[in-house]
Structures are given as structure tokens and as C-alpha cells.
Amino acid sequence: MFVFSKLVWIFGQPLSLAFLFILLTFIAALLRWRATVIVSSLLSVLILFVSLYTTAGAYVVQGLEERFPRAAADPADLKCMIVLGGATQNEVTTARGGYEFDSAGDRLVEALRLSQKYPQARIVISGGDGSIGGTYEGDAVISERFFTALGIPKDRMVADTTSRTTFENAVNTKELLEQNGLSNCLLITSGFHMPRSMGIFRKQGIDVVPWPVDYRSTGKETPGLDFTQPSRNAQLLATGLREWVGLVGYYAVGRTSALYPGQ
């Protein structure tokens, strides 16, 4: 299932689909399949235009981010927080050492802020190596090194170093919470990732408080054209569609509590 899901997304994301339709156009032209040439070329152009030059991606991501709004204030007390993996560049860090963040680095920054404000709180770091090859340092290993370097004692951390997916995050975390007598933790992850994460944790019977970070939209996005930032538009659309593929797929196999979990 893990490898299959990875391959589905490699070939199913918008730019990959556009490439496949362009390839089909070329093959169809060689075989003189005129109707196929027209349809596949139009589809590739449409996918590229929507991905690069519209706000579709930002609008989709915004919808995901609005499902679990940010809390108005910090909690009165905090015993534990769960930080989901996906915030580090595993390939780069494995090669160069240290702790290199990716665009979801806010997850670790927020966990660090809260750990300093609530020195009694435990930090559950969830995330192994999610690559197909499994040859890199995982998020939990890198995150633990980051927190330790900034003065957080190791005995405050509980690490899940083997999970590769959000589903495995929840399954492994449930066991770690039971072993350490922890409950009602904050769940820290990106806003767009929170609906799927909450659905999976609820399905596992884990009581958590959603704590979204790493927002990618302004909260005021509307459908329309945008010729100013094509690479960002394409990335946002890929991010939003990937989450929806995950929501539908996980719901289909019974891993989430609802198709589109909300507050």
C-alpha cells in the first residue's frame, strides 16, 4: 500500500499528468490518431494553464486550512504535543548533517515555541523516512537533534522513528501515548494537512486538540487568474490535490472517521 500510494501520486499529480498527455499526443501523432492528438493536447494545455496561471491551488488549499481554524490563544495548560513529520529535508540533511527545514518547518518552530512556554510539556515527534528507498534519516531523528541543539532535554521527547505515512503516525503515536501515560495532546501539523490528520487520529480513538500551523493561503483567496507566480500556483495545486487524494483514498479503505473531517 505504501509504495502503491507513492507511485499513484508520482504519476497522478498535475504536472505529471500534463507530461503524460503530451507524451500521448506525440505517440498518437506518429500513429496518425487525429482525434486522440486533439483531445490529449487540449487536456495537457488545460492542466498546465490551470496549474500555472490560476488561483485554483490556493483556493483548494484554503478550503482545507479553514476546516480547523487556528486557536485564538495558547492553552491555559499543556501536558503534551504531537508533531507530525514532513518538516525536514531528509535527503539533504542525511548528506550534509544538521537539520534542514522544508516549507513545513513551522511545525517544528511552533513546537519549540510551545515547549519553551510550557517546560512541563512532553513532545511526541512522529516521522520516519517516508521515501520509497528508505535510505534517509527520518523526521523524528532530525527533529530530536534540532530540539536538543536548542536546549530541550531528551527526556522530554518521545520519538516515533518508523512511521512513513500519516496513518502510521497515528497508529505508532497511539502506542507511545499509552506507554507514557499521555493524553489530550496538541496535534501540530500544517493547516492543509489537518483534516486528514484529525480524521485518522479520530478513527484510532486518540483525543487530540488540532493546532494548525504552516498556512499556505491568505484566507481571502477567490477563483481567478494569476500570471504573477506560476511555480507557486502549481505547487499549491499539487499540495491541495494530494491532500484530497489522501482524504478520498483513506476514507475508501476505512482509515479516517469521515470523508472531509472538520471541527
Contact residues for 43 (Cβ-Cβ < 8 A; gap 6+)? 21
Cell of 115: 515547549
Write the burial class of residue 260 (CB in 10 Å: 0-12 exposed, 13-18 middle, 19+ buried). Answer: middle
How do the pLDDT tens digits run along the chain, 263 residues long?
Answer: 666 777 777 888 999 999 999 999 999 999 999 999 999 999 999 999 999 999 999 999 999 999 999 999 999 999 999 999 999 998 999 999 988 999 999 999 999 999 999 999 999 999 888 777 778 898 999 999 999 999 999 999 999 999 999 999 999 999 999 999 999 999 999 999 999 999 999 999 999 999 999 999 999 999 999 999 999 999 999 999 999 999 999 999 999 999 999 98
The Cα-based distances of 172 to 43, 80, 186, 219 in angstroms read: 42, 16, 16, 33
Q: Rg of the chain over CA atoms, in angstroms? A: 20
Amino acid at 97: G
pTM of the entire structure?
0.92
Alpha carbons 227 and 236: distance in angstroms, whole number: 14
Q: Which residue in 149, 191, 140 sits closest to 168, CA to CA?
A: 140
**Residue 3: predicted pLDDT:** 67
- How much is the pLDDT for 10? 81
We find that the CATH architecture of domain 80-213 is: 3-Layer(aba) Sandwich (3.40)
For the four alpha carbons of 120, 108, 142 and 240, in that order, the dihedral sign comes to: positive
* Residue given cell 499526443 in the structure block: 25
Domain ranges of the chain: 2-65+229-252, 80-213
Terminal CA-to-CA distance of the chain, rounded, Å? 29
For cell 523524528, name the residue.
140
H/E element, 117: helix 106-117
Alpha helices in 14-55 (DSSP H): 14-30, 34-53
Whole-number Å distance between alpha carbons of 61 and 86: 17
Give 112-120 contacts, CB < 8 A, sequence gap 24+.
112/146, 112/147, 112/150, 112/152, 114/74, 114/78, 114/81, 114/186, 114/188, 115/81, 115/147, 115/152, 115/156, 117/74, 117/78, 118/77, 118/78, 120/78, 120/79
